[in-house]
Amino acid sequence: MNLSFWEHKTWLSNIDFAVIGSGIVGLNCALSLRKKHPKSKIVVFERGMLPSGASTKNAGFACFGSISEILDDLKNHSEEEVIQLVKNRVEGLKLLRNTLGDQQLDYKEYGGYELFTKEDAALFETCKSKISFINELLKPIFKAEVFSEKENHFGFKNIQQKLIYSRFEGQIDTGKMMLGLIQKTSKENILIMNSSEITNISDDGNSVLLQLNSSETLRQAQCDISVKKVFIATNGFAKQFLDEDVKPARAQVLVTKPIENLQIRGTFHLDKGYYYFRNIENRILFGGGRNLNFKTEETTEMELTQLVQNKLEELLKTVILPNQSFEIDQRWSGIMGMGNQKKPILKTVSKNIFCGVRLGGMGVAIGSSIGKQLAALYD
Ligand SMILES: Cc1cc2nc3c(=O)[nH]c(=O)nc-3n(C[C@H](O)[C@H](O)[C@H](O)COP(=O)(O)OP(=O)(O)OC[C@H]3O[C@@H](n4cnc5c(N)ncnc54)[C@H](O)[C@@H]3O)c2cc1C
């Protein structure tokens, strides 16, 4: 790469901490490193023009688990483990709100609702019957009743008559969250290098050699950079560097054009959480459908499929907005990192390399604290 003396000296030499990936985890990791190491040189390498995984693509649910999800978790985890999972999410959300403030996040605690399809009558009955048990289980965290039954005041069709309401669930503006984090890192003298993909990492025990591949049209070339410590925060793309149980999981989303007199306000989970929707201003943002073909969605390609997009539109027409006409404004997809377990992978990979990946569908809630814990792996 034809770098000038100045470019090399200012951006690419004497790096104490290199963070790979500028999503929620990478940026929080960088901010946390800055707190402990005020004089260090911290550089975040991001292969996209913007963060290009899940953090700028998500639905902005500030949630900690719907009732069916918590009951499902109880099948594979002990009660103590489930309480801890929920606690981590609640504390992670507090950390996010403290880091950026509710105004920057546009945080609104409108509450969340779970809808049950016509076919899910048995699940609905089970969830209803377990409300007081789960509320009791979560009392130590919330000090109040979390879940209750609610009438369907929204005009949803083709679902079970009642909804299960979760009063502490909120929503954020995902774009504002990421903009806030990027601005904060810049204020903290952390450099973010966009269009900069790391293609290889090797630790010789004293330092780490990074191979940088710049995809910027004017500078398509590679160079090697030597850094002291590396923090991998590439989530769904982590297989590139790590031999761990983490797979990409694509999630597709759409948003409608503004809808007059939209009465829907809140975050909504449908079909065991495989679908999710919310209002954003007077639009509906709707995503999900990975379960229609898990294998196809196990990809890092940010494409859309007819199968999923058609299903999203069908559910909008038949369940969510049955009495209103609407138009789709935009569609996109993002890549999550999933594995057989829900817990993220936080570990020391080698003497100078650390990783914090596999955030699943809860990165808004846990991303800030996983970033902080990733930084703390080096102390
Ligand atoms: C459509 C969708 C909806 C979601 N909805 C919600 C929700 O409502 N609530 C919630 O809590 N969670 C939600 N999630 C999950 C949440 O967004 C993620 O868990 C979270 O953003 C993960 O953050 P991260 O920093 O670990 O990963 P990412 O945001 O994916 O960041 C990883 C970054 O690494 C970069 N990168 C990868 N490889 C390299 C490389 N070799 N060199 C340099 N850079 C690289 C990528 O470009 C990317 O920017 C959703 C996810 C999606 C996709």
Q: What is the mean pLDDT of residues 64-80?
A: 94
- Ligand 1: does its nearest atom lie under 6 Å from the Cβ of 20? yes
d(CA 91, CA 270): 25
Decide if pLDDT at 346 tops 90.
Answer: yes
Decide if pLDDT at 283 tops 90.
Answer: yes
Decide if pLDDT at 313 tops 70.
Answer: yes
- Ligand 1: does its nearest atom lie under 6 Å from the Cβ of 60? yes
Closest CA to 160 of 151, 170, 169: 151
Residue 379 CA to ligand 1 center (angstroms) comes to 26
d(CA 138, CA 7): 53
pLDDT of residue 1: 61
- Which CATH superfamily includes the segment(s) 5-57+176-243+341-376? FAD/NAD(P)-binding domain (3.50.50.60)
Decide if pLDDT at 14 tops 80.
Answer: yes
- Rg, Å, the chain Cα set: 22
Residue 153 CA to ligand 1 center (angstroms) comes to 34
Determine whether 74 is exposed, middle or buried from the number of CB atoms within 10 Å of its CB (0-12, 13-18, 19+): middle
Which residue's C-alpha comes closest to atom 16 of ligand 1? Answer: 363
% of the chain surpassing 90 pLDDT: 93
Residue bearing the bigger pLDDT, 237 or 8: 237
pLDDT of residue 17: 98
Which residue's C-alpha comes closest to atom 35 of ligand 1? Answer: 21
Closest approach atom of ligand 1 to CA 362: 11
- Ligand 1: does its nearest atom lie under 6 Å from the Cβ of 47? yes
pLDDT of residue 216: 65
d(CA 87, CA 94): 11
Residue 318 CA to ligand 1 center (angstroms) comes to 30
| Contact present, 57 and 331 (Cβ < 8 Å) | no
Closest approach atom of ligand 1 to CA 250: 53
In this predicted model, what pLDDT tens digit does every residue of 315-331 receive, in sequence order?
Answer: 999 999 998 999 999 99
- Ligand 1: does its nearest atom lie under 6 Å from the Cβ of 164? no
pLDDT of residue 109: 97
Decide if pLDDT at 137 tops 90.
Answer: yes
Q: Per this entry, what is the length of the chain?
A: 379
DSSP 3-state assignment of 305? coil
- Ligand 1: does its nearest atom lie under 6 Å from the Cβ of 112? no
Q: 36: how many CB neighbours lie within 10 A of its CB?
A: 11
Q: What is the DSSP letter of 11?
A: I
Encoded tokens for 154: 């929204």
Q: What is the mean pLDDT of residues 340-351?
A: 94
Closest CA to 56 of 170, 168, 169, 180: 180
In this predicted model, what pLDDT tens digit does every residue of 16-55 receive, in sequence order?
Answer: 999 999 999 999 999 999 999 999 999 999 999 999 999 9
* Banded pLDDT at 341 (limits 50, 70, 90): confident
* Maximum alpha-carbon separation in the chain: 69
DSSP 3-state assignment of 303? coil
Q: Where would I find the beta strands (DSSP E) of 298-344?
A: 328-338
d(CA 241, CA 199): 9
Average pLDDT, the chain: 96
- Ligand 1: does its nearest atom lie under 6 Å from the Cβ of 240? yes
* C-alpha separations of 202 from 163, 210, 215, 296, 301 in Å: 52, 7, 21, 32, 26
In this predicted model, what pLDDT tens digit does every residue of 194-223 receive, in sequence order?
Answer: 999 999 999 999 999 999 998 765 666 678
* Banded pLDDT at 193 (limits 50, 70, 90): very high
Residue 103 CA to ligand 1 center (angstroms) comes to 22
Per-domain residue ranges of the chain: 5-57+176-243+341-376, 64-170+246-338
In this predicted model, what pLDDT tens digit does every residue of 74-133 receive, in sequence order?
Answer: 998 899 999 999 999 999 999 999 999 999 999 999 999 999 999 999 999 999 999 999
d(CA 321, CA 255): 13
Q: Does domain 64-170+246-338 have CATH number 3.30.9.10?
A: yes
Residue 85 CA to ligand 1 center (angstroms) comes to 19
Q: Give the amino acid at 299.
A: T
Which mutation among 208, 336, 373 tests ligand 1's pocket best, with the greatest number of atoms within 8 A of CB? 336
